[in-house]
Amino acid sequence: NEYLRHHPRIRKDMTLMVRQLAPDDHGLPIEIYAFTNTVVWLEYESIQADIFDHIFAVVEEFGLRIHQTPTGSDIRALSGTLRH
């Protein structure tokens, strides 16, 4: 939360929240709710990437791991790789 509060591209006058959602079979989901100071899509994508790069860089410091459930296209791509 502190990282986002000090991020120069996150609006300070609007809702900012990082919270844990209900645990599921894969772990403890985290929700990040914040507003950027731009509505330009490419700038927004860059800000989002910057935030996630920061999370990926520090997650192990907290003894955590990142998990993403594969989608249908991920599984198709993987199965195609295994056939060759």
pLDDT tens, position by position, 53-71:
999 999 999 998 898 877 7
pLDDT above 60: residue 84 = no
Q: What angle do CA 34, 67, 70 make, to 5 degrees?
A: 105
Cα angle for residues 68, 69, 72 (degrees, 5° grid): 130
Q: How many domains does the chain have?
A: 1
Q: Considering the entire predicted model, what is its pTM?
A: 0.75
| Inter-residue long-range contacts of 40-43, CB under 8 Å, 24+ positions, other chains counted | 43/9
Report pLDDT for 75.
Answer: 72
Range of the domain at 61: 2-83
**Mind listing the pLDDT tens digit for each residue in 14-44?**
999 999 999 998 888 999 999 999 999 999 9
Return d(Cα 54, Cα 34) in angstroms, integer. Answer: 15
CA–CA distance, 52 with 15 (Å, rounded to integer): 19
